[in-house]
């Protein structure tokens, strides 16, 4: 516990550097793009259109709400998670001079990737709100739980970002395996269809996926006007433990980072 308190205190001490690093990464990501933040809207909309055709025309499923809203809601949450990890995985190896020559908490790199993706999430959330208005989806008092649900997603994402950024530094194969894993992981999550419809042993295995419970909770408070279930509470608590463990492990391993760059 004392180690965890030390690393959190150190991160707080370098909070201005985290803000500056996030601003730098945000600028670099969109500096030479034509659409800029439009990409945060364009890709989820394209995927929503594709999956809407599949799951309303080819293999129709009833999700209890207009499918485009259902899919876009899941994709907004998933894209935040996937985008954070996609930039986190190489966040250490792409900054060798800073990692090896200047001392500061190295977790700033993956944390910065997560914060940049929060900006993308906020942009996409505006479109989600517009879709909900278009389809006349009412909101209820469970919406008050939305900050807690999003915090849970951020905590789990940050924990995973620490692990994969560190893993890629020691084993460079990770960045190649990541794209395969993230693609499979998406379809093993309730992003564009309800995983609960999958029965048998496969369904039992998929029910262990923490991202499914987080995205289901996200939809519950936004679209279904209901409180998240017990699975969300367990996942949130487990995510906090995972973040604490990953952060301490990252801190203990960072003295070996320079030797592997």
Domain boundaries, the chain: 2-260
Give the pLDDT mean for 66-74: 94
Encoded tokens for 209: 């996926």
Mean pLDDT taken over the chain: 89
Region of 198 on the Ramachandran plot (φ > 0 left; ψ -120 to 50 alpha; else beta) = beta
Task: Please name which of 170, 190, 244 lies closest in space to residue 70, comparing C-alpha atoms.
Answer: 190
Bigger pLDDT: 87 or 96? 87
185-232, pLDDT tens digit by residue? Answer: 999 999 998 988 887 888 888 889 999 999 999 999 999 999 999 999
What is d(CA 150, CA 132) in angstroms, rounded to the nearest whole number?
Answer: 18
pLDDT band at 234 (very low <50, low <70, confident <90, very high): very high
pLDDT band at 34 (very low <50, low <70, confident <90, very high): low
What is d(CA 188, CA 154) in angstroms, rounded to the nearest whole number?
Answer: 19
The pLDDT score that the predictor gives to residue 32 is 66
Q: Do 228 and 205 meet the contact criterion of CB atoms below 8 Å apart?
A: no
Alpha helices in the chain (DSSP H): 2-13, 15-30, 38-53, 67-88, 96-101, 108-134, 146-170, 174-187, 200-206, 210-222, 230-253
Q: Do 147 and 71 meet the contact criterion of CB atoms below 8 Å apart?
A: no
Q: Do 116 and 39 meet the contact criterion of CB atoms below 8 Å apart?
A: no
52-69, pLDDT tens digit by residue? Answer: 888 887 777 888 899 999
**pTM of this prediction exceeds 0.95:** no
The pLDDT score that the predictor gives to residue 1 is 65
Q: Do 159 and 239 meet the contact criterion of CB atoms below 8 Å apart?
A: yes
Give the pLDDT mean for 91-111: 85
Place of tokens 């048998």: 200
How many angstroms separate the most distant Cα atoms in the chain? Answer: 57
């Amino acid at each position: 516990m004392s180690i965890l308190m030390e690393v959190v205190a150190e991160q707080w001490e370098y909070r201005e550097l985290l803000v500056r690093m996030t601003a730098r990464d945000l600028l670099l990501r969109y500096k030479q793009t034509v659409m800029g933040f439009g990409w945060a809207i364009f890709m989820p909309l394209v995927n929503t259109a594709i999956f809407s055709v599949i799951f309303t025309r080819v293999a129709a499923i009833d999700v209890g709400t207009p499918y485009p809203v259902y899919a876009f809601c899941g994709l907004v949450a998933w894209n935040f998670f996937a985008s954070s990890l996609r930039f986190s995985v190489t966040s250490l190896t792409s900054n060798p001079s800073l990692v090896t020559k200047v001392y500061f908490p190295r977790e700033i790199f993956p944390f910065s990737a997560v914060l940049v993706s929060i900006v993308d999430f906020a942009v996409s959330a505006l479109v989600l709100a517009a879709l909900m208005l278009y389809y006349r989806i009412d909101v209820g008092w469970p919406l008050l739980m939305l900050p807690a649900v999003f915090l849970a997603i951020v905590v789990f994402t940050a924990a995973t970002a620490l692990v994969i950024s560190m893993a890629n530094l020691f084993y460079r194969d990770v960045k190649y395996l990541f794209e395969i894993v993230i693609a499979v992981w998406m379809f093993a999550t309730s992003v564009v269809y309800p995983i609960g419809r999958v029965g048998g042993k496969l369904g039992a295995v998929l029910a262990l996926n923490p991202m499914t419970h987080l995205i289901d909770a996200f939809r519950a408070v936004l679209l279904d006007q209901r409180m998240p279930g017990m699975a969300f509470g367990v996942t949130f608590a487990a995510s906090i433990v995972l973040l604490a463990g990953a952060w301490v492990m990252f801190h203990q391993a960072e003295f070996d980072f320079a030797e592997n760059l």
